[in-house]
Structure 1
Amino acid sequence: MRKNSYVVITMILAAILLLAACGSDTDKTGSTGNKDTFKVGLEAGYAPFNWTQMDDSNGAVKIDGNAEYAGGYDVEIAKKIADALGKELVIVKTEWSGLPPALTSGKIDAIIAGMSPTDDRKESIDFSDNYYKSNLVMVVKKGGKYEGATSIQDFKGAKVTAQINTFHYSVIEQIDGVIQETAMDDFPAMRVALESGMIDGYVSERPEAISASAANENFAMVEFTEGFVASDDDIAVAVGLEKGSDLATEINEALAEISEEERQDIMDTAIMNQPAAQ
């Protein structure tokens, strides 16, 4: 009887171990372990790279677990990558500061959110090849004292901010005598602050600044002849990946298939389609 009990216990333990092995067998093609989906994290609040809308117009993708949809340049790039991978695209709306933790914890397979592959970020996550490159500009009030600025030093004494946890905020220190306001959570908050007069301007990339001025006739984009000093990685945009992700090669191959002309066309279309611009 005791011998039979040992046999039964041994069989149960073997079954448990087998099930555990199946459950922990992470799919090498992605951190979430799902072979059929490509889960992409973005904040859906950084037009024209990504935004939130209420329907699927202009190719927007439904946000996972949400009645809303995400559209924009990043979404279009994510769709092309998902197609190349042969997977279903799933958009996971995540706050900006929560994107790297979501990636490293396996909640998403990639970050496609207008994120620059800075040295600081490379310490915790990997990046694909760049899929966009832009210049740093400033968004200000149209008709205000800073609209005609040509140098960043023209903002001496101005109240300037940028998004939290971005290199945009760190470059403000390059302006002599600037009043560096507290970093803000996202671009919609900065637009509200600019409209209300809480700030005189915020640092952005050219596509977002075009988007802001298109969405609000009271805003203007300032491009500089004497601008911010930034590295190529700082002004580039790439796909964030978990360290050692096997998706890197396939994603780079997918990006290589998108010509520079097509990338610019996608961006121009995103700027035109952003909900606020309509």
Structure 2
Amino acid sequence: MSLRKPSAVLPVAALALAAVLSGCAPQDAKTDGAAAGASGTTGAAASCAPGALATRTAGKLTVGTDKPAYDPWFSEDKPENGKGFESAVAYAVAGKLGYPADKVGWVVAPFGKATAPGAKDFDFDINQVSISDERKQAVDFSSGYYDVRQAVIALKGSKAAGAKSIADLKGAKLGAQVGTTSLDTITDTIKPSTQPSVYDSNDLAKAALKNGQVEALVVDLPTAFYITGAEVPEAQVVGQFAAAPKGEQFGLVLDKGSKLTPCVSQAVDALRADGTLAKLEQQWLSDAVSAPVLK
């Protein structure tokens, strides 16, 4: 995850399970849904008969995500309400797999645990988890359902808030959530002169920003707009980073070697192809339209 996982207040609208979406305004160039590479999809022999998959509970689909479940990816910390981009995507994928909303259940899956080796208590997890070769050693990924850009938010009036380039951020006290591509962006792209502060959750990172313990945080772009618009109004979006050379995408997380991976990837690919992912992104993430690119 890019800091969730963690922008202007995003609209909250009723979920239309038939709607779904792909790559909207924040990204200048889109990558194909399978570009980041789903794992476990080759030699797909698993039957994808609607509603008859080898799920943890017969006839039901169990979806995992972290708690709290943050806006704009979820709404009201209730993944089951179908509101927010990732909740809507989860139900759209479930529908493609043959599971109506009343056959979908949710479990709490902390970000670090969801991507670690070991058996899972969900059929798939949705939690702003970026697809990476390193993570593929421990878990399977579906095709990508969202094309990611990272962004910087800083306290208004701070030196970091006036940054116009990556070089302007090198002397800033920066922070991000542990184990995220947001933290990777700090260490690999910004390369600050002081070690960044690392937090176990977005809530702790946001509290540190509010308290002035850090000048700026790196998070994904939609989260940046939500945080500054609804949670930390004393902060502002400084800018976004150029898309990663290979493209960064969020993918659904599955148990390593899961028989469900090919079916879940097929569902995501179908939602991208029919425009559902793009519609959902427009519905739930449309406020994150632009931010200057830091170079």
TM-score, structure 1 as length reference? 0.73
Q: Which has the higher contact order (CA 8 A, sep 6+)?
A: 2
Q: What is the CA-CA distance between 1:179 and the residue it aligns to? A: 2.3
Q: 124, 133, 145: which one pairs with 1:131? A: 145
**TM-score, normalising length from structure 2?**
0.69
Structure 2 CA distance, aligned partners of 1:221 and 1:171?
A: 16
Cα pair 2:177 2:200 within 8 Å, conserved:
yes
Does residue 156 of structure 1 match 2:174? no
Deviates more, 1:248-257 or 1:104-113: 248-257
Query: What is the rounded CA distance, in whole Å, between the counterparts of 1:267 and 1:191 in structure 2?
Result: 24
User: Which residue does 1:24 correspond to in 2?
Assistant: none
**Rg bigger for which structure?**
1
In 2: Cα distance, 1:85 partner to 1:214 partner: 36
Q: What fraction of aligned residue pairs are identical, expressed as a percent?
A: 24
1:127 counterpart SS class: strand
Are the aligned partners of 1:53 and 1:70 in contact in 2 as well (CA < 8 Å)?
no
Displacement of 1:209 in angstroms is 0.6
SS at match of 2:223: helix
Q: Does 1:253 align with 2:266?
A: yes
Q: Structure 2: how far apart are the matches of 1:250 and 1:109?
A: 11
CA distance in 2, matches of 1:126, 1:177: 32
TM superposition shift of 1:74: 1.3
Task: Check conservation: 1:137, 1:209, Cα contact below 8 A.
Answer: yes
**Is residue 109–residue 125 contact of structure 2 (8 Å, CA) maintained in 1?**
no
Alignment CA distance shift 1:177-1:114 (3 Å): closer
Equivalent residue for 1:171, pick from 165, 185, 188: 185
Aligned to 1:85: 97
**Do 1:31 and 1:242's aligned partners in 2 also have CA atoms closer than 8 Å?**
no
In 1: Cα distance, 2:194 partner to 2:70 partner = 24
1:31 and 1:161, CA in 2 relative to 1: closer, same or farther beyond 3 A? Answer: farther
Matches within 5 A, 1:94-243: 94-101=109-116, 104-173=118-187, 174-215=189-230, 216-224=232-240, 227=241, 230-232=244-246, 235-243=248-256
CA RMSD of aligned residues (A): 2.8
Letter in 2 for 1:37: K
SS of residue in 2 equivalent to 1:39: strand
- Correspondence for 1:39: 62
Cα gap change, 1:30/1:106 in structure 2, threshold over 3 Å: closer, same or farther?
Answer: farther
Report the residue type matching 1:220 in the other structure. Q
Distance 2:192 2:179 in 1: 22
Q: Which moved more, 1:141-150 or 1:213-222?
A: 141-150
1:161 and 1:203 in contact (8 A); partners too = yes
Distance verdict in 2 for CA 1:170–1:153, change over 3 Å: same
The answer to whether the 8 A contact 2:75-2:83 is kept is yes
CA contact (8 A) 2:144 2:250 kept: yes
Unaligned runs of 5+ in 2: 1-51, 288-295
Letter in 1 for 2:74: N
Does the CA contact (< 8 Å) of 1:146 and 1:155 recur in 2?
yes
Q: CA 1:180/1:269 → structure 2, altered by over 3 Å: closer, same or farther?
A: farther
Aligned-pair distance for 1:254?
1.8
Amino acid at match of 1:123: Q
CA distance in 2, matches of 1:93, 1:50: 13
Cα separation, partners in 2 of 1:86 and 1:232, compared to 1, 3 Å: same
Deviations 1:128-182 (A, max 9, x none): 1100012111111134322232222211221111111113213312334432233
Number of aligned residue pairs: give it: 230
